[in-house]
Amino acid sequence: MLNWDVQDVRKYKDKPFAFNENLDLEKELQGRSEDIITAGTAKVDGQLFNDNGLVISDVKVEISVTLPSTRSLDPVELPMKFRINEAYNIDNIDTEELDENTVIIPIDDDNPTIDVYKSIIDNILLNIPSQILTEDEANGKNMPSGKNWEVISEDDYQKQKEDDKQVNPEFAKLKNLFKDNKEKE
């Protein structure tokens, strides 16, 4: 289940170790996030490269998860497609010279395994956006409202702000009315 012993991966020195799996991750994802309503089958296509004490993973993940809208709580299907690139330090090499953006994962000496399965679940959860909207909500329709209040789009807010700046000429004359009274006092 996408979990390999380090010794097995070491055998692939000259060629990459490739894998292609379809995974049912719904229970694991729901166990880690209350927001996930459903999750489709994850299509996982990847390779592990043995590179001088590091095992580099290059994994493509494609999955569709259903989450509640952050505005209305209506279910929204969110297709996700992303890539995971991580390095597993299997020989405790010095990693200071590596690119600072490289994710280095240490290997537990007691259980020397490369757990790509856990990494896939972690990255699915990390790739869920903080704002999830239905198609209508994303297009500015179906804004929530209540008694004496309503949510408006950014464009409507800017237009309202411009309209407030335009002063009625009748009221412009009154603007200076109280100014004269203050000067007389």
pLDDT level of residue 30 (50, 70, 90 thresholds) = very high
pLDDT score of 169: 66
Write down the domain spans for the chain: 3-138, 145-184
Candidate ranges 3-17, 114-128, 135-149, 171-185; pick with highest mean pLDDT: 114-128
Residue 133 CB neighbour total at 10 angstroms: 17
pLDDT value at residue 15: 82
- Confidence grade of residue 113 (pLDDT, cut at 50, 70, 90): confident
User: What own/partner pairs with CB < 8 Å and gap ≥ 24 does 45-49 have?
Assistant: 45/19, 45/20, 46/18, 46/19, 46/20, 46/84, 46/116, 47/16, 47/17, 47/18, 47/19, 48/4, 48/9, 48/12, 48/16, 48/17, 48/19, 48/114, 48/116, 49/16, 49/17
Over residues 23-33, the mean pLDDT reads 96
pTM above 0.85, yes or no: no
Compute the average pLDDT of residues 159-182. 69
The mean per-residue pLDDT over the stretch 16-26 comes to: 93
Predicted pLDDT of residue 158: 87
Tokens of 89: 């330090």
